[in-house]
Amino acid sequence: MAKPNHPVQTVNRTFEILEVIQELDGAGVSEIADRVDIGKSAVHNHLTTLANREYVDKDGDEYHIGLSFLGLGAYARNRTPIYDAAQSQADNLADQTGELVNLLVEKNGMGIYLYQAKGENAVELDTHEGKRVRMHCTGLGKATLAFRPREEVDEIIDEHGLPKLTNHTITDREEFYAELEEIREQRYAIDREERLNGLRCIASPITDDADRSIAAISVACPVHRVDDERFYEDIPEAVLGAANVIELEYNYS
């Protein structure tokens, strides 16, 4: 992403404040001031302005993200063409597997959860629609990167690195490239507890008619409940089928 030649510092500060509030799931003036390294009075002025526009809500001494962002988020998601093609298939996949289904798109080298569908046995996680995650430690991210040019993957790794989130996270660049090659061959990726301990996922890329990934869809399930036979045989088949239908609808409808 190109850097602005003349960034507006006030706007930067506002978004830093909002990101702190989201990260901490609510924060007070002092907490925010410590995080963004500006005075409490300046933080208070930002928050008062945001609250007046209903972009933050005040609950006691804490501020939380307001519902005004919901309209903007829904609008942005609905403008994403893959959402229309994928939503119903994600719902069907969740019903079929009984698990948590995620749809992810890449933006500026990070993954953004675009949609979630929950089957009857879906696990509750820290993820939500709009959450950003690193690409290298999720099945969704790996499935997406496997169908991107090598130089593009290089740029993303150069910027975001391969940090270790669990003992299973791939942190070696050459090992990661070997993993992407395997994913290209089988057209699905496996998250082996690489972002969260106790959770594994099967993800498949959704590609355009030039076979470039535009999104990815996954089924996530806890290790202790889903046995290897179902995880490595039944779930990949279901995920690949859903991805195929989404691709057909997106590319040719």
Which of the two residues, 85 and 219, has the higher pLDDT score?
219
Residue 1 has pLDDT above 70, yes or no: no
Q: Using one digit for the tens of pLDDT, what is the confidence trace for 113-170?
A: 999 999 999 999 888 888 889 999 999 999 999 999 999 999 999 999 999 999 999 9
Across 7-16, 17-26, 125-134, 136-145, which has the greatest mean pLDDT? 136-145
Which of 2-6, 63-67, 102-106, 147-151 shows the lowest mean pLDDT across its residues? Answer: 2-6
Q: Using one digit for the tens of pLDDT, what is the confidence trace for 183-213?
A: 999 999 999 999 999 999 999 999 999 999 9
| DSSP string computed for the chain | -PPPSS--HHHHHHHHHHHHHHHHTSB-HHHHHHHHTS-HHHHHHHHHHHHHTTSEEEETTEEEE-THHHHHHHHHHHTSHHHHHHHHHHHHHHHHHSSEEEEEEEETTEEEEEEEEE-TTPPP-S--TT-EEESTTSHHHHHHHTTS-HHHHHHHHHHH----SSTT----HHHHHHHHHHHHHHT-EEEESSSSTTEEEEEEEEE-TTS-EEEEEEEEEETTTS-HHIIIIIHHHHHHHHHHHHHHHHHH-
Which of 14-28, 95-109, 204-218 shows the lowest mean pLDDT across its residues? Answer: 14-28
pLDDT of residue 69: 79
pLDDT of residue 6: 54
Residue 5 has pLDDT above 80, yes or no: no
pLDDT of residue 4: 57
CATH numbers and ranges of domains, the chain: 9-66 (1.10.10.10), 80-252 (3.30.450.40)
